[in-house]
Chain A
Amino acid sequence: MYHYTDFDRDFLAERNAQFRAQVERRLDGSLTEDEFKPLRLMNGIYLQLHAYMLRVAIPYGTLASGQMRTLAVLAEKWDKGYGHFTTRQNIQYNWPRLVDIPDMLDTLGEVGMHAIQTSGNTIRNVTADHFAGAAKDEIADPRPVAELLRQWSTDHPEFQFLPRKFKIAVTGSPNDRAVTRSHDIGLVMKEQDGEIGFEVIIGGGLGRTPMIGKTVRDFVPKADLLPYCEAIVSVYNRLGRRDNKYKARLKITVHENGIEEMRQRIEDRFAQLKPLFSGVDQVMLAGIEAQFALPAFTSNAPAPILDPVLQSFVDTNVTAHKRDDHAIVTISLKKHGETPGDATADQMRLMADLADAHAYGELRISHEQNVILPHVRRDALPVLFAALRSAGLGTANIGLASDIIACPGMDYCALATARSIPVAQEIAKRIDALRIEHEVGALKIKISGCINACGHHHVGHIGILGLDRAGVENYQITLGGDATETAAIGERAGPGFAYDQVVPAIERLILAYLDLRAGDEETFIDAFRRLGPAPFKAALYPQENQDAA
C-alpha cells in the first residue's frame, strides 16, 4: 500500500489549515456563499437535506486496518455511530456540524486520509478495480497508476474549476469491475509488445443522459498517461459547455463535437504537453509500484469445508485469488432489510481487526458498496466467517438479487425525487422471504432516487429510478443494463410504478425469469438477451396484457 511521504503529509496539513481558514472567512464575510461553495465542495463537504455531509476519499478503494479504525472514530465522535460507503469508493458521514469538519479532516490527515476533490467541478477521487492486486485475471495492479493520477490531479491549478465534475476509473483486468465505460476517463490496462499501457475511453457517464464511453486511443503507453490525461481535461476545460449544467459533462462535449474532432484536439494538445513532463513522474511511479508489493504470504493447508452454511458463504462471497491458498472475501453490507452500504463503528472496527488477523491488514471498498478482504488465507475462512456472522456481517448474497446498489435518495439527498433505500430494503426482505435468492443467482439490481443516477440504475440488469410525478413517488424500471466490459444502458420497460407497487413488480419480474430461463445456468441478463424485453414486460404489466387480449 502507498505510504504518505513528508510531502503528502505537509500538503495535507497545509490544505486542512487553508480550509479551516476558509470556514472562518466565510463566517466573517470575506467569502460570499457563492465563493465558498466550490471551496467546500472541493474539500468534500455537501449541504444535504438535513445537515452537512462529509465525503471522505478512499483512493482506489484501498484502506489499511488503521485507517478503517479512524473511519470508525469519525462515525462515533462526529456522526451517529455509522458511515455510508458509496458507489465511488468513498465514505459519507451524514450528520457532522460544519464547525467540526476541520477537526474531522485533521483526524483523517493523521492516517493519510482526506476529503479532497470528492465533490465539486474537479477531478474526483480516482477509482479502481476493488480486486486490484489480488485478482487472478489481472495484467498488473492498477493502483500505482491510480495513485499517480491522484497526485497529479490533486490541487491541479488548471482543473479546479472545470465545467462539471470529472471522474476517472482504472482497471488492470480485462474483466471490468471498475465500470470504466461510464466514467469521463476510463483506463483499461493492456499489454502490447511487452509494454504496459492503457486503452483510453472518454465521455462515459450516467445521469440524465447516460452514455457508454468511446475509445479515444487504443493504446497509450504508461509513460504517456499523465500528459495524455492532462490533454483530455485541458481540451474539455475550454470546450465543455458552461451555459447549462445538464450539458456540461465531457460526455456531452464528446457527443456534440464527435469523437473524431475530440481525438484530433486531444492529440494536438498531447503533442504540446508531452515535452513538459520531464519523466520524473515515471521515477515516482516506480517508487509507488514498489510500495504496492504483495504481502509476504503465509498459509497452512485448508481443511475441507463441511458446514453447509459456510459453504454457501464461500460460494457467493469468495472469489479466486492469484494464489490458490488464498481467497478474496467480500463482506456484504447488504444484510436483508439493512441500508445498503452502511456500517456501524463497531462493524468497521471488527473488519479492521479481522483484516489484521487474517488478511495482512488490508481492506477494500467496492463500488457495489461492500467491504473486501483482498488477501485471506484459505485455512482462515471458517474462523473469519464465524466472526463476521456474529457481527451481522455474514450475509451470503454477493452478486445476488439482494446485493443492491442504492443511492441515499430522499432519506438524505437534497436532490432526490423519491426514496431509494427503503425500496432496496423491501426488495431484499421480500427476496429473502421467498427463499429464491440462490436459485435466481447472479442479478444486479440498482436504484437511484433521481435522474442523477448515483445508484447506477442505467447499468443494472434491473434498474429502478425514483421520480416525482405531481408530488407522488413513481418508479421507472429499466431492463438489460450492464456495467462490465460488455457495458450497456438498460431500456425503459414502460410506465412507472407507485411506491407500494414497485416491490411486487420486481417480484413478478424475478419469478418470470425463473419460468423463462433455459436452465439453471442461464442468468437473468443472458435470458433477457436471448428473449428480448417482451416476456419480461408481460410480467411487469399483466393487466395490460389482459386488456389487450
Chain B
Amino acid sequence: MPIVTDAGFAPDDLNARFSPSDDLPANGPLSIDVASDADLTPVLARLEEATAIRVAFPSSADGRGFTIARQLRRAGYTGRLRAEGHVIADQYAMARRSGFDEVEISDDLAARQPEDQWLARADWQAHDYQSRLGRRRDTKSAAASA
C-alpha cells in the first residue's frame, strides 16, 4: 500500500491502528477512519486526541472526502490527514489543495498509475485560481479570524 506525497511513493511510516469514526476507543491517542458518508460529530468532538485521520474515497467519482478534509482543517485539526482508497493521480492536486497531506493507494492502482503520473501533479500550488483569488487554506485560525 504505497503512500503518495509530493516526493513520490513511500511505504507507510505511520504504524497506526485506525478505528472507525463511529466506534472510537475510550482513550486516545486516536487514529480515525472516516467514511465518505460519515457523521463528523464524534470526530470533531475528539479532534484534540487525534494524531492521524484517514478519509475514505470509495470511488474516484465520490468527491465528498475533499469537503470532509476542509471541514476537519477548519475545525482545527493539524495532524496527519490522509486520503485513502480510489483516488487517482489526476486528483492528487485536489486532495492536497483540500488539506490532505498524503494519499494511500492500492498496489494495483500504483502499478497502473506509476509514480511519475503522481509526481506530474506534485506542483499543486501552481495554477491555482483559489489562491490567486486570495482564498486562504482551511485552518482554524483562518476560519475564526472574523
- In the assembled complex, the Cα of A503 lies from the Cα of B93 at a distance in Å of 53
- Contact call B143/A276, Cβ cutoff below 8 A: yes
- Across-interface contacts of A154 in B (CB, < 8 A): 129
- Contact call A35/B88, Cβ cutoff below 8 A: yes
- Contact call A152/B143, Cβ cutoff below 8 A: no
- Contact call A278/B135, Cβ cutoff below 8 A: yes
Interface size on B, residues (CB 8 A): 39
What 1/0 mask marks residues of chain A from 259 to 281 whose CB sits below 8 Å from any chain B CB? Answer: 00000000000011111111111
Interface size on A, residues (CB 8 A): 48
In the complex formed, the residue of A with least CB distance to B67 is A237
- In the assembled complex, the Cα of A277 lies from the Cα of B138 at a distance in Å of 10
**B66 proximal to A (CB < 8 A):** yes
- In the assembled complex, the Cα of A162 lies from the Cα of B129 at a distance in Å of 19
- In the assembled complex, the Cα of A162 lies from the Cα of B98 at a distance in Å of 14
- Contact call A38/B136, Cβ cutoff below 8 A: no
- Contact call A278/B61, Cβ cutoff below 8 A: no
- In the assembled complex, the Cα of A276 lies from the Cα of B71 at a distance in Å of 13
Asked if A234 meets B135 with Cβ closer than 8 Å, knowing A157-B94, A275-B145, the reply is no
Asked if A237 meets B143 with Cβ closer than 8 Å, knowing A11-B127, A21-B120, the reply is no
- Contact call A238/B146, Cβ cutoff below 8 A: no
**B54 proximal to A (CB < 8 A):** no
- Across-interface contacts of B91 in A (CB, < 8 A): 160-161
- Across-interface contacts of A31 in B (CB, < 8 A): 88, 90, 113
Q: Which of A22-30, A89-97, A336-344 contacts B (4 or more CB under 8 A)?
A: A22-30
- Contact call A237/B66, Cβ cutoff below 8 A: yes
- The binding surface of chain A is classed by DSSP as helix
- In the assembled complex, the Cα of A373 lies from the Cα of B136 at a distance in Å of 40
- Contact call A234/B70, Cβ cutoff below 8 A: yes
**B17 proximal to A (CB < 8 A):** no
- In the assembled complex, the Cα of A200 lies from the Cα of B137 at a distance in Å of 26
**B78 proximal to A (CB < 8 A):** no
- Contact call A280/B134, Cβ cutoff below 8 A: yes
In the complex formed, the residue of B with least CB distance to A234 is B67
Asked if A238 meets B133 with Cβ closer than 8 Å, knowing A39-B90, A275-B142, the reply is no
**A159 proximal to B (CB < 8 A):** yes
- Across-interface contacts of A10 in B (CB, < 8 A): 127
Residue of A30, A273, A276 ringed by the most chain B CB atoms within 10 A: A276
- In the assembled complex, the Cα of A34 lies from the Cα of B90 at a distance in Å of 13
Task: Tell me the minimal C-beta distance from B98 to chain A in angstroms.
Answer: 5
**A312 proximal to B (CB < 8 A):** no
Asked if A276 meets B133 with Cβ closer than 8 Å, knowing A158-B70, A161-B60, the reply is no
- Contact call B134/A277, Cβ cutoff below 8 A: yes
- In the assembled complex, the Cα of A277 lies from the Cα of B133 at a distance in Å of 8
- Contact call A275/B129, Cβ cutoff below 8 A: no
**A284 proximal to B (CB < 8 A):** yes
What 1/0 mask marks residues of chain B from 30 to 68 whose CB sits below 8 Å from any chain A CB? Answer: 000000000000000000000000000000111110111
9 shortest interchain CB distances as A-B pairs: A280-B134, A161-B63, A157-B97, A278-B134, A157-B94, A275-B146, A281-B133, A158-B66, A237-B67
Q: Would you list 12 pairs from A and B whose C-beta atoms are within 8 A, ordered by A residue?
A: A7-B127, A148-B133, A158-B98, A159-B63, A161-B63, A226-B135, A242-B62, A276-B137, A277-B133, A277-B135, A277-B136, A281-B133
